Structure 1
Amino acid sequence: MSDAPRCTVVVSTYNRSALLRHTLDSLTRQRMPADQFEVIVVDDGSSDDTADVA
């Protein structure tokens, strides 16, 4: 049995902290157990508070 997650969600973002916050909140409410998925946030050097949200 592998320790790898069953699902990987990659979220790319740039200066969209409010949308990222909403997206991450939505992902926490989905039905898959937290140990079966991972979320990777890719930020292209945002100048807002995107990094703090991630």
Structure 2
Amino acid sequence: MTAREAPFISIVIPAYNAEKTLVETLSSVSNQSYDKLEILVVDDGSRDGTFELASDYGLT
């Protein structure tokens, strides 16, 4: 890796019944200017629409 190469960053978002806040969180992370990143949503068995929202963002 050269000094000019930007590192690849993983953003891990833990979620449990986060349907009400997940969209805002994902939008905020997605709108960052840094482009070498991956977003991981770790769902701990939510019973609301958390999984579906993450799926809509293509994060499953």
TM-score by length of 1: 0.81
> What count of residue pairs does the alignment treat as equivalent?
49
Larger RCO of the pair (alpha carbons < 8 Å, separation 6+):
1
SS of the residue 1:32 aligns to: coil
| 1:17 and 2:19 aligned | yes
**Cα RMSD after superposing both structures:** 1.3
- Letter of the 1:52 counterpart: E
Q: Give every structure 1 segment of 4 or more consecutive aligned residues whose post-TM-superposition deviation is greater than 6 Å.
A: none
SS of the residue 1:25 aligns to: helix
Find the counterpart in structure 1 of residue 9 from structure 2.
7
Structure with higher Rg: it is 2
Spell out the pairing of 1:17-36 with structure 2 (5 A cutoff). 17-33=19-35, 36=36
Find the counterpart in structure 1 of residue 51 from structure 2.
51
**Structure 1 position 17, deviation (Å):** 1.1
TM-score by length of 2: 0.74
Contiguous gaps of at least 5 residues in structure 1 = none
- Letter of the 2:14 counterpart: S
